[in-house]
Amino acid sequence: MRKGFIISLAFKNLFRYTRRTIITSIAIAVGIAFFIWIDGWMKGIEKESERNTIQYETGSAQIMDRTYWDERDFLPLRFTLNHPDSMLEVLKENNIPATKRITFSAEVYFGDVSKQIKCIGINPETDNAVFNFKDEKVLLPSSRYLRANRDEIMIGRDLAENLGIDLDAFITADSETGTRPEAELKFRTRLGAYQTLTVKVVAVYNTPNPVINKAIGMIPLDIASSVLEMNGSVTEIAMLFPPWEDVNERIKGVAALFANTKDDLTVMDWKNLSGNPNIMEGKSKFLNIFLFLIFVIAAVGISNTLLMAVFERIREIGMMRALGMKDSSIRLAFLFESAGIGLIGSVVGLAIGAVLNYFMVTYGLDFTELMGSMDFGYRIYGVFRATWNPQTMVTAFLLGIISSIIISFLPSSRALKMEVTECLRYQ
Amino acid sequence: MIKIEKVTKTYITGDQKVEALRGVDLFIDKGEFLSIAGPSGSGKTTLLNLIGCLDKSTSGDIFISGENVGEKSKNELALFRRQKLGFVFQTFNLIPVLTAFENVSFTLALLSMNGSELKDRTMKILKEVGLEGMEHRFPRELSGGQQQRVAIARALVKDPDLVLADEPTANLDSVTGEEILKLMENLNRKHQTTFVFSTHDKMVMDHAKRLVLLHDGLVTKDERR
C-alpha cells in the first residue's frame, strides 16, 4: 500500500475529532513551551551567573600555591606566590590578561558596627584587565576608583548598608573634595601580628554579583602588601580568557607555562573558585527531572487521547483488516496521525515558548524584592533574564513529535492484538 | 470453488466450551447467490467468518479457489482477503473521513493500484451501484441504502472471487433492503461473482438462489432454487 494514501488517511483522521486534536496538541504545546521557557531561563541564569562570577569574583581562572588552595577556607597568607611579577611577565608574553591580588580575612568597623569580610588587595593599574570594577554602571555616583598607595577602600552596596553608611550622603558628596566615610580594618599580618588600618571609603559598588556586594572590600595592593608584610608576594594571580575558549584547555596551557618552577602551584577555574562545582550540575539534574515530569504529563494526555481514538475506531480497524490492510500499515496510519498531533503541538509550543523566551530575554523577571541580597548559589542580583538556546528549541520540537509517535505504539498495539472478528463485533 | 469439509469451530470462554459449528460440509460453486440462514446462535456468522478467512476452524478444511486457507499464516490470509474476497457488513463500516469515491478506491489502493485505472474502475462501479454524481459525498451525507451501495461497490471494485455479506439488509428498511438485494442479484448475474450472505430475514432468503439452513452448528437444509 502506498505511503501517500496512509499519510492522507492519517491527515484526514487528524481533523476527524478536531476538539480532541486541539486539546492534545495544547498539552504538547504547553509541555514544549515550558521546556523552552524554563530551559532558556535556567541557561540564562547560569550564563549570567558565570559572567558575574568571572567579571567580579574570580576571573576565568587563578594561579595560587597548592597549599593555599587546600586551606583556602582560612586564607593562609604564609602560602603565597613569591615571584608574581615574573609570572605576570610570562602570562603577558602569552597574551593572557592577568593581575595579582592579595586576599585576606579582616574585620571592618564603622562606628559601633563591625562585619567580618574578605578583603582583597588589588592593583588599580592592572585589575581592570581582568575584573570590571571600573565600570561606571557598577560604581555608585560620586564613587572614585582606588588609587595606588592610599589608605582607601571600595566596598559593596550591601556591606555599606549593613555597616550603616549613609549612602544618600555618600552619593551626593563630591568624590574628590567631599567628606568620605572612614572605616577601620582589623586583621592579622602574614607573621600573625594584629594590625589596624584606617581607610576612607572612596567607592561603593553595586555589581550584579550579590556575593561581592555583601562581604568584600578592596584596598590598593601596595597598601595591603605593606600592612600584611607580604614582601612582594601575593596570594593569587587572576586571569581572563576569551569566553569562547575552553577554560580547561587554557588552564592546562597555563599550568604547562609554570611546570618547571620550584613552587608547587595550582591553576583553578572559576567554577572551583566560586564554590562547590557540583551545585550547578545538581541544579541541571533537578531541571532535567522537572522537564521530564512536564513531558510525562503531556505523554499521559497524548496516550489517553490516542487510546480513546483507537478504541472508538476498533470496528473500522476490523473492517480495514478484513479488507486485507496489513497491521503494519494500520499502525503506520496511527503513527502518522500521532506525528501530526505532535507536529501541531510542537509548532504551537515552539511559538509560545519563543514568545515567552523573548520577554524573558528582553525584560526578564525582577526578583529584587523577593530575594533581597540572597544568591541561591547563583551570582545574580535582581532581574533574572533568559537566553536563547536554539539547541533546546530544536530538541523540544523533535521531542514533541518523536514522543507522540512512541506513545502511539501502545494504543495501536492493543487494538491490533485483537482478532479481526473481535474488532468487527466491538461495540 | 469453495469446499468446506467437516469444519468444526469451538469457542472456549473460561470453563465453558461452545461448539459453534459441529462438522459442516458444503460445496459452493462459482457464481452462486447463496444465503446461509438460521436463528441466532446457529453458527451462520461463524461459518461466514471462516469462509471469509477472518477466523480459523478448530478442525476440518476450507478450500477457496483451490487453496487450503487453514494452512495460511495471518499475513498470507490478509493478502488472500485483499486479492480475492469482498466484504459487505451489516453496519456498512465505511470510513467516515473518506468520500464515497475514496471509500471504494480504498480497496484498490490496498492493491497498490493508482492513477487512471483506479479512477476508472471506481467511477464505473459507483455508476453500476447507482451512485453516479455522489462520489464526493461523505458517508454522513448519504442515506443508509446509499451507504450500503458504497459498501457493495467497495466489495466488488477489485473484481473478487467471492463476496461475503453479513446480514446486509439488517440495518435498512424493507424497501431499501429489497433494492439492495436486487442490486446484489444484478451484480451477481452480470459479473458472475459468488455471493454468500448470512441472514435470518425471510425476504433475503427468498432472493437467494440457494439456501443453506444452519441449526446448532449443523447444516439442516441445503435447497437450490
DSSP state letters, B153-211: HHHHTT--SEEEEESTTTTS-HHHHHHHHHHHHHHHHHH--EEEEEE--HHHHHH-SEE
Residue listed under C-alpha cell 443508509: B144
The C-alpha of B94 sits at a distance from chain A's nearest C-alpha, in angstroms, of 8
Name B174's Cβ contacts closer than 8 Å, sequence gap at least 6.
B203
Q: Which of A240, A271, A299 is the last residue of a domain?
A: A240
- What is the structure's pLDDT at A127? 95
Domain-embedded: residue B17: no
Q: Are residues A70 and A217 in the same domain?
A: yes
A14, A21, A321, A323: best mutation site toward chain B, by most B Cβ within 10 Å?
A: A323
- What is the structure's pLDDT at A282? 64
Domain-embedded: residue A261: no
Domain-embedded: residue A266: no
Name A177's Cβ contacts closer than 8 Å, sequence gap at least 6.
none
CA dihedral A188, A190, A192, A194 (to 10 degrees): -30
Q: Which long-range contacts (CB under 8 A, 24 or more apart) does B38-45 make?
A: B38/B200, B38/B213, B38/B214, B38/B215, B39/B200, B39/B215, B40/B200, B42/B214, B42/B215, B42/B216, B42/B217, B43/B9, B43/B214, B43/B216, B43/B217, B44/B198, B44/B199, B44/B200, B44/B214, B45/B166, B45/B198
The C-alpha of B86 sits at a distance from chain A's nearest C-alpha, in angstroms, of 7
Which member of B87, B93, B110 has the closest CB to residue A1? B110
Q: Are residues A73 and A171 in the same domain?
A: yes
Q: List the domain range (segments joined by +) for residue B46.
A: 31-56+70-224
Cα gap A249→A267, rounded to integer Å: 12
The C-alpha of B191 sits at a distance from chain A's nearest C-alpha, in angstroms, of 20
Q: How sure is the predictor about A374, in pLDDT bands with cuts at 50, 70 and 90?
A: low
Domain-embedded: residue B15: no
Name A184's Cβ contacts closer than 8 Å, sequence gap at least 6.
A108, A109, A110, A196, A197, A198, A199
Helices A390-417/A278-312 angle, 10° precision: 40
Check if B79 contacts A (Cβ < 8 Å). yes
Tally of domains within chain A: 2
Q: Are residues A389 and A351 in the same domain?
A: yes
Question: Is A12 within 8 Å of B87 when comparing Cβ atoms?
Answer: no
Assign residue B160 the CATH number of its domain: 3.40.50.300
Domain-embedded: residue A245: no
Question: Is A421 within 8 Å of B54 when comparing Cβ atoms?
Answer: yes
Taking an 8 Å Cβ-Cβ cutoff, which residues of chain A contact chain B?
1-2, 5, 9, 12-13, 15-16, 315-316, 318-327, 419-421, 424
Q: Residue B29, exposed/middle/buried by CB under 10 A (0-12, 13-18, 19+)? A: exposed
Domain-embedded: residue A219: yes
Q: What is the mean pLDDT of residues A69-97?
A: 92
- What is the structure's pLDDT at A355? 94
CA dihedral A143, A145, A151, A155 (to 10 degrees): 60
Q: What is the mean pLDDT of residues A109-137?
A: 92
- Burial profile B139-153: b = 16 or more Cβ within 10 angstroms, e = fewer: beebebbbbbbbbbb
The C-alpha of A403 sits at a distance from chain B's nearest C-alpha, in angstroms, of 26
- What is the structure's pLDDT at A5? 82
Successive 10-residue mean pLDDT values, chain B, 225 residues: 93 88 94 93 92 94 92 91 93 92 94 90 93 94 94 92 91 87 89 91 89 94 90
Q: Are residues A82 and A18 in the same domain?
A: no
Closest CA to B2 of B88, B92, B68: B68
B46, B73, B84, B93: best mutation site toward chain A, by most A Cβ within 10 Å?
A: B93
Query: What values do phi and psi take at A199, rounded to 5?
Result: -130, 150
Domain-embedded: residue A353: yes
Q: Are residues A328 and A414 in the same domain?
A: yes
Query: What DSSP element (H or E) covers B6?
Result: strand B2-13
Domain-embedded: residue B19: no
Task: Return the C-alpha cell found at A28.
Answer: 504538547
Chain B residue with CA closest to A315: the answer is B93
Task: Return the C-alpha cell found at B43.
Answer: 453458527
Residue B71: DSSP 8-state:
G
- What is the structure's pLDDT at B200? 85
Closest CA to A235 of A266, A269, A193: A266
SS3 content of chain B, % helix, strand, coil (to 5): 40, 30, 30
Cα gap A159→A215, rounded to integer Å: 6
The radius of gyration computed from the CA coordinates of chain B, to the nearest angstrom, equals 17
Interval A200-240: pLDDT, tens: 999 999 888 888 888 899 999 999 999 999 999 999 999 99
Q: Are residues A148 and A173 in the same domain?
A: yes
On chain A, the residues whose CB falls within 8 A of the CB of B91 are: 315
Chain A residue with CA closest to B114: the answer is A2
Domain-embedded: residue B10: no
Question: Is A421 within 8 Å of B98 when comparing Cβ atoms?
Answer: no
Domain-embedded: residue B74: yes
Q: Residue A245, exposed/middle/buried by CB under 10 A (0-12, 13-18, 19+)? A: exposed
Closest CA to A36 of A367, A374, A409, A360: A360
Q: List the domain range (segments joined by +) for residue A326.
A: 3-53+279-425
Q: Are residues A20 and A104 in the same domain?
A: no
Q: In B, residues 144-163, which contact A (CB 8 Å cutoff)?
A: 154
Check if B93 contacts A (Cβ < 8 Å). yes
Q: What is the mean pLDDT of residues A262-270?
A: 89
The answer to whether B17 touches B24, Cβ cutoff 8 Å, is: no
On chain A, the residues whose CB falls within 8 A of the CB of B49 are: 421
Question: Is A323 within 8 Å of B98 when comparing Cβ atoms?
Answer: no
The answer to whether B157 touches B95, Cβ cutoff 8 Å, is: no
CB atoms under 10 Å from CB of B215, counted, come to: 15
Domain-embedded: residue B26: no
The answer to whether A382 touches A371, Cβ cutoff 8 Å, is: yes
Cα gap A164→A169, rounded to integer Å: 12
Question: Is A16 within 8 Å of B96 when comparing Cβ atoms?
Answer: yes
Tally of domains within chain B: 1
Q: Are residues A149 and A195 in the same domain?
A: yes
How much is the mean pLDDT over chain A? 87
The answer to whether A76 touches A67, Cβ cutoff 8 Å, is: yes
Q: Residue B13, exposed/middle/buried by CB under 10 A (0-12, 13-18, 19+)? A: exposed
Which member of B55, B75, B107 has the closest CB to residue A323? B107
Q: Are residues A360 and A389 in the same domain?
A: yes
Check if B49 contacts A (Cβ < 8 Å). yes
Q: Residue B170, exposed/middle/buried by CB under 10 A (0-12, 13-18, 19+)? A: middle
Would the pTM count as exceeding 0.80? no
Half-sphere exposure of B203 (CA within 13 A, CB side): 15
Domain-embedded: residue A104: yes
Q: Is the pLDDT of residue A276 over 60?
A: no
E strand residue ranges, B29-156: 33-37, 59-64, 67-68, 85-88
Q: Are residues A161 and A223 in the same domain?
A: yes
Q: What is the mean pLDDT of residues A355-367?
A: 86
Residue listed under C-alpha cell 577601620: A184
Chain B residue with CA closest to A421: the answer is B54
Question: Is B93 within 8 Å of A316 when comparing Cβ atoms?
Answer: yes
Q: Which of A240, A270, A288 is the last residue of a domain?
A: A240
- What is the structure's pLDDT at A260? 84
Q: Which of A215, A240, A265 is the last residue of a domain?
A: A240
Domain-embedded: residue B144: yes
Among A236-250, A368-382, A383-397, B115-129, where is mean pLDDT lowest?
A368-382
Q: Are residues A212 and A294 in the same domain?
A: no
Cα gap A43→A136, rounded to integer Å: 27
Q: Is the pLDDT of residue A380 over 80?
A: no
Q: How sure is the predictor about A427, in pLDDT bands with cuts at 50, 70 and 90?
A: confident
On chain A, the residues whose CB falls within 8 A of the CB of B88 are: none
Q: How sure is the predictor about A279, in pLDDT bands with cuts at 50, 70 and 90?
A: low
Residue listed under C-alpha cell 433494492: B179
Domain-embedded: residue B12: no
A14, A313, A319: best mutation site toward chain B, by most B Cβ within 10 Å?
A: A319
Among A32-46, A105-119, A223-237, where is mean pLDDT lowest?
A32-46
Task: Return the C-alpha cell found at A325.
Answer: 490492510
The answer to whether A387 touches A49, Cβ cutoff 8 Å, is: no
Query: What DSSP element (H or E) covers B121?
Result: helix B115-128
Q: What is the mean pLDDT of residues A354-381?
A: 75
Higher pLDDT, A306 or B56: B56
- What is the structure's pLDDT at A302? 76
Q: Are residues A172 and A216 in the same domain?
A: yes
Chains A & B: contacts with CB separation below 8 Å: 64
